[in-house]
């Protein structure tokens, strides 16, 4: 299963490296078998192989740089526990001259299903690590690239995570990769035992008003949101049964595999990840038309705007995930709402949709408008523009271009609370 979901309202260049300069010490599967003593890996101590920088984007989504062996281009991948494999972008394959092999296998996303092709038996080069014998799904990530404002060349999921112990430190923005074996988790956190075949599934309680319920959820670092619930789960539970205390419901949109879809944005009184409780959690509700959650087996997914509040240790070999609260643990949630949907398309920040009845519609924005500046900040800086549109209670001064004419729009930034 490829990445099933990325919110359209989400919206890399960190410490740059070039892989051909970062492979003075490389390891592949055969090298590791020679380096480690014989016997069950559970009897060995985990050993650090490499540590390298990553870049966070809105919602905490992790983007790392890597290469395919034999190709000079440095590529950008989303690290995604919600992916049951590893994948490459269609346009990236064309650019590199890779020829995908068609198959009868399908992948399912929130907005559709599709057959997939594969690029087989490739090696991925990370700093000081070569990961060989990888079969990449091929999928079109053009929309995702437009959402983030940078080229997304692929998604790294179970295909790599299943081979190592992987740590994600959101404080230092570093990933650590260890051999499988005995690992000493740091103090102060909690060890989780999710259900895990290819995607971790975590049982969590949901509280809203007088309602207390629970279900299982995808543990999904590739989704730049806090929480996503299927309407099937919501309608069969008591989550919004108290109409007198029903939270504000705001219409918005999302994009996923297969295209765009409508969603509802609201808040949940309390949601727990392990023993850690979060209150007034921004939550998206969606119609699971393509049965991605296989309800009632799953109720939805936990996204990385919650998970980034912990430093993570992903130990798939022992089916363990360790959460350690970090400096982002008490970060305020993003409750801002404008109804303005913007992408980076052909080097310009473009309004791709305006939600009906939203502040953006009332301010006079139209689909196709080009954003020239926000609060006197010029240039096609999509991440900056999104940050500037989070100041609840203010009005953003936005210069747009429409039909070659410039106009100033004042956009009120509302709250979903």
Q: What is the DSSP-derived secondary structure letter of residue 225?
A: S
Question: Measured between alpha carbons, how far is 338 from 382 in angstroms, rounded to an integer?
Answer: 15
Q: Taking 50 as the threshold, does the pLDDT of residue 31 lie above it?
A: no
Over residues 128-136, mean pLDDT: 97
Which among 410, 301, 371 has a CA at the least distance from the CA of 11?
371
Q: Taking 60 as the threshold, does the pLDDT of residue 245 lie above it?
A: no
Tell whether 17 and 63 lie within a shared domain.
yes
Q: Which two tokens stand for residue 98?
A: 């890779």
CATH code of the domain in which 376 resides: 2.30.42.10
Tell whether 280 and 351 lie within a shared domain.
no
Tell whether 201 and 173 lie within a shared domain.
no
Tell whether 61 and 26 lie within a shared domain.
yes
Share of the chain above pLDDT 70, in %: 85
Over residues 351-364, mean pLDDT: 95
Which among 174, 69, 42, 86 has a CA at the least distance from the CA of 129?
69
3-state secondary structure the chain: CCCCEECCCCCCCCCCCCHHHCCCCCCCHHHHHHHCCCCCHHHCECCEEEEEECEEEHHHEEEEEEEECCCCCCEEEEECCCCCCEEEEHHHHHHHCCCCEEEEEEEEECCEEEEEEEEEEEEEEECCEEEEEEEEEEECCHHHHHHHCCCCCEEECHHHHCCCEEEEECCCCEEEEECCCECCCCCCCEEECCEECCCEEEEEEEEECCEEEEEEEEECCCCCCCEEEEHHHHHHCCCCCCHHHCCCCEEEEEEECCEEEEEEEEEEEEEEECCEEEEEEEEEEECCCCCCCCCCCCCEEECHHHHCCEEEEEEHHHCEEEEEECCCCCCCCCCEECCEEEEEECCEEEEEEECCCCHHHHCCCCCCCEEEEECCEECCCHHHHHHHCCCCCCEEEEEEEECCEEEEEEEECEECC
Over residues 98-102, mean pLDDT: 96
Q: Taking 90 as the threshold, does the pLDDT of residue 218 lie above it?
A: yes
**Do strands 211-219 and 300-302 pair parallel, antiparallel, or not at all (unpaired)?**
parallel
- Residue 277: per-residue pLDDT: 97
Q: Taking 80 as the threshold, does the pLDDT of residue 16 lie above it?
A: no
- Residue 115: per-residue pLDDT: 81
Which among 300, 286, 293, 295 has a CA at the least distance from the CA of 204?
300
Answer whether residue 296 is part of any domain.
yes
Tell whether 34 and 118 lie within a shared domain.
yes
Tell whether 18 and 150 lie within a shared domain.
yes
Answer whether residue 39 is part of any domain.
yes
- Residue 40: per-residue pLDDT: 56
Q: Taking 90 as the threshold, does the pLDDT of residue 169 lie above it?
A: yes
Q: In terms of residue numbers, what domain contains 408? A: 341-415
- Residue 242: per-residue pLDDT: 72
Chain centre distance of CA 1: 14
Question: Measured between alpha carbons, how far is 235 from 104 in angstroms, rounded to an integer?
Answer: 35
Domain's final residue, options 248, 274, 303: 303
Alpha helix (H) residue ranges in 23-118: 29-35, 90-96
DSSP code per residue over 257-292: TTEEEEEEEEEEEEEEETTEEEEEEEEEEE--TT-S
Tell whether 174 and 107 lie within a shared domain.
yes
**Do strands 154-156 and 75-79 pair parallel, antiparallel, or not at all (unpaired)?**
parallel
- Dihedral of CA atoms 224, 54, 344, 387 in degrees, nearest 10, equals 60
- Residue 258: per-residue pLDDT: 55
Tell whether 286 and 385 lie within a shared domain.
no
Answer whether residue 191 is part of any domain.
no
Could you tell me if 247 and 281 are in contact, meaning their C-beta atoms sit under 8 angstroms apart?
A: no
Residues in the chain: 417
- Residue 42: per-residue pLDDT: 64
Answer whether residue 316 is part of any domain.
no
Domain's final residue, options 150, 178, 206: 178
**What's the domain count of the chain?**
3
Domain's final residue, options 178, 205, 221: 178
Q: Taking 90 as the threshold, does the pLDDT of residue 14 lie above it?
A: no
The band of 313, judged by pLDDT with boundaries at 50, 70 and 90, is: very high
The band of 191, judged by pLDDT with boundaries at 50, 70 and 90, is: very high
Tell whether 141 and 253 lie within a shared domain.
no
- Residue 21: per-residue pLDDT: 28
Q: Worst-scoring range by mean pLDDT, 166-170, 176-180, 355-359? A: 355-359
Tell whether 137 and 275 lie within a shared domain.
no
Over residues 15-43, mean pLDDT: 40
CATH code of the domain in which 201 resides: 2.40.70.10
Tell whether 219 and 289 lie within a shared domain.
yes
Q: Worst-scoring range by mean pLDDT, 26-35, 72-81, 320-329, 406-415? A: 26-35
Q: Taking 50 as the threshold, does the pLDDT of residue 17 lie above it?
A: no
Answer whether residue 326 is part of any domain.
no
Which among 47, 64, 46 has a CA at the least distance from the CA of 55?
64
Which positions ≥6 away from 366 have C-beta within 8 Å?
351, 354, 402
Answer whether residue 121 is part of any domain.
yes
Tell whether 163 and 14 lie within a shared domain.
yes
pTM summary value: 0.87
The band of 394, judged by pLDDT with boundaries at 50, 70 and 90, is: very high
- Residue 261: per-residue pLDDT: 77
- Residue 391: per-residue pLDDT: 94
- Residue 243: per-residue pLDDT: 65
Could you tell me if 215 and 204 are in contact, meaning their C-beta atoms sit under 8 angstroms apart?
A: yes
- Residue 255: per-residue pLDDT: 62
Q: Taking 60 as the threshold, does the pLDDT of residue 407 lie above it?
A: yes
Mean pLDDT over each residue of the chain, to the nearest integer: 87
Answer whether residue 187 is part of any domain.
no
Over residues 270-285, mean pLDDT: 97
Q: Taking 50 as the threshold, does the pLDDT of residue 37 lie above it?
A: no
Answer whether residue 317 is part of any domain.
no
Question: Measured between alpha carbons, how far is 84 from 1 in angstroms, rounded to an integer?
Answer: 5
């Amino acid at each position: 299963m490829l990445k099933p979901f990325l919110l359209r309202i989400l919206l890399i260049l960190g410490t740059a490296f070039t892989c051909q300069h970062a492979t003075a010490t490389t390891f592949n599967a055969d090298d590791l078998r020679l380096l480690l003593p014989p016997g069950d890996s559970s009897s060995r101590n985990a050993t650090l192989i490499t540590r390298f920088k990553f870049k966070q984007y809105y919602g905490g989504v992790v983007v790392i740089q890597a290469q395919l062996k034999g190709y000079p281009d440095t590529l950008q991948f989303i690290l995604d526990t919600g992916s049951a494999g590893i994948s490459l972008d269609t346009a990236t394959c064309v650019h590199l001259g890779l020829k995908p092999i068609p198959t009868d296998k399908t992948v399912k996303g929130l907005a559709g299903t599709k057959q997939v092709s594969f690029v087989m038996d490739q090696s991925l080069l990370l700093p000081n690590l070569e990961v060989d014998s990888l079969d990449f799904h091929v999928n079109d990530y053009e929309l995702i690239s437009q959402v983030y404002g940078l080229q997304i060349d692929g998604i790294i999921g179970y295909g790599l995570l299943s081979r190592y112990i992987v740590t994600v430190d959101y404080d230092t923005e570093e990933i650590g990769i260890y051999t499988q074996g005995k690992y000493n988790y740091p103090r102060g956190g909690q060890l989780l035992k999710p259900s895990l075949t290819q995607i971790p599934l975590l049982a969590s309680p949901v509280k809203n008003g007088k309602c207390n319920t629970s279900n299982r959820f995808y543990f999904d670092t590739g989704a730049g949101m806090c929480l996503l619930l299927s309407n099937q789960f919501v309608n069969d539970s008591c989550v919004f049964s108290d109409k007198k205390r029903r939270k504000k419901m705001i219409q918005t949109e999302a994009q996923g595999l297969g295209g765009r879809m409508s969603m509802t944005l609201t808040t949940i009184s309390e949601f727990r990840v392990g023993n850690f409780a979060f209150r007034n959690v921004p939550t998206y509700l969606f119609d699971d038309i393509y049965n991605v959650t296989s309800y009632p087996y799953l109720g939805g997914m936990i996204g990385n705007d919650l998970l980034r509040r912990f430093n993570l240790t992903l130990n798939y070999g022992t089916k363990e995930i360790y959460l350690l609260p970090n400096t982002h643990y008490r970060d305020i949630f993003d409750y801002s709402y404008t109804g303005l949907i913007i992408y980076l398309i052909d080097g310009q920040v473009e309004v791709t949709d305006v939600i009906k009845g939203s502040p953006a519609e009332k301010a006079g924005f139209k689909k196709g408008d080009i954003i020239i500046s926000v609060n006197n900040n010029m240039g096609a800086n999509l991440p900056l523009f999104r940050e500037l549109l989070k100041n609840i209670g203010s009005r953003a001064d936005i210069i747009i271009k429409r039909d070659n004419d410039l106009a100033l729009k004042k956009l009120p930034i509302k709250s979903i609370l």
